[in-house]
Amino acid sequence: MSSGQGTIIAKRSISLSKTYLVVGILMALLGVLISSLSGVTGNLSTTGIPVNATGARSLDLTTALPLVSVALQVFAAIIFSIPVLMLYVYDKNNGVLEYFLSLGMNQGDVYRQYLKAALILSSGLVGFEVIINVVAGLITGVSGLMLLEVSGLVVALALPVVSFDALIMMSFSSLQKQRVGSNQPLGMAIGVLMVMPAYIAPLAVPSLALAIDLLLAGVIVVLSLLMYLSSSRLISREKLLP
Amino acid sequence: MPTLELVGVSSGYGGKPVLHDITFKAQESAIYVVLGPNGAGKTTLFRTIAGILEPYSGEVLFDGEDLTRSKEARNRINYLSHYNAIPEEMTVRGALDFYARIEGGNADEVLSLLSLGELEDKKVSDLSQGQKKRVSIAKVFLRERDLYLLDEPTSNLDPAVSKEIRDILLGLSKDRIVLYSSHNLYEARDVGTNLILVRDGEIGYFDKISNIKSKEYRVGIRTTTDISKMIDAKLGEGGYYVLSVSTPEEAGLALKKLVENGVLVTEMRQLDNPLQDLFEDNYDQHPAKTERRVVKPS
ipTM: 0.80
Alpha-carbon torsion angle B104, B105, B108, B109, nearest 10:
-170
Angle subtended at Cα B103 by Cα B99 and Cα B104, rounded to the nearest 5 degrees = 95
Cα(B24)–Cα(B293) distance, integer angstroms: 10
At A74-98, the pLDDT tens digits run 999 999 999 999 999 899 989 999 9
pLDDT band at B249 (very low <50, low <70, confident <90, very high): confident
Which pLDDT does position A125 carry in this prediction? 96
Residue of higher predicted confidence among B52 and A60: B52
* Of residues B50, B72, B89, nearest to A12 (C-beta): B89
Residue B78 scores a pLDDT above 90: yes
Asked whether the beta carbons of residue B53 and residue A238 sit closer than 8 angstroms, the reply is yes
Tell me the Ramachandran region of residue B275: left when phi exceeds 0, alpha when psi lies from -120 to 50, beta otherwise: alpha
Average pLDDT (B218-234) is 90
Q: Are B244 and B217 in contact (CB under 8 A)?
A: yes
Helix (H) or strand (E) holding A61: helix A61-94
Q: Name every chain A residue with its beta carbon within 8 A of the beta carbon of B77.
A: 102
Q: Judging by beta carbons within 10 Å of its beta carbon (0-12, 13-18, 19+), is residue B13 exposed, middle or buried?
A: middle
Which pLDDT does position B280 carry in this prediction? 67
Handedness of CA B35, A178, B84, B81 (dihedral sign): negative
Average pLDDT (B89-97) is 93
Instruction: Pick the range with the lowest mean pLDDT from A35-49, A194-208, B22-36.
Output: A35-49
Q: Name every chain B residue with its beta carbon within 8 A of the beta carbon of A2.
A: 101-102
* Of residues A8, A96, A237, nearest to B54 (C-beta): A237
At B194-209, the pLDDT tens digits run 999 998 999 988 988 8
Cα(B270)–Cα(B166) distance, integer angstroms: 22
B166 and A CB contact within 8 Å: no
Please state, rounded to an integer, the average pLDDT across all residues of chain A: 84
pLDDT band at A228 (very low <50, low <70, confident <90, very high): confident
Residue B296 scores a pLDDT above 50: no
A44 and B CB contact within 8 Å: no
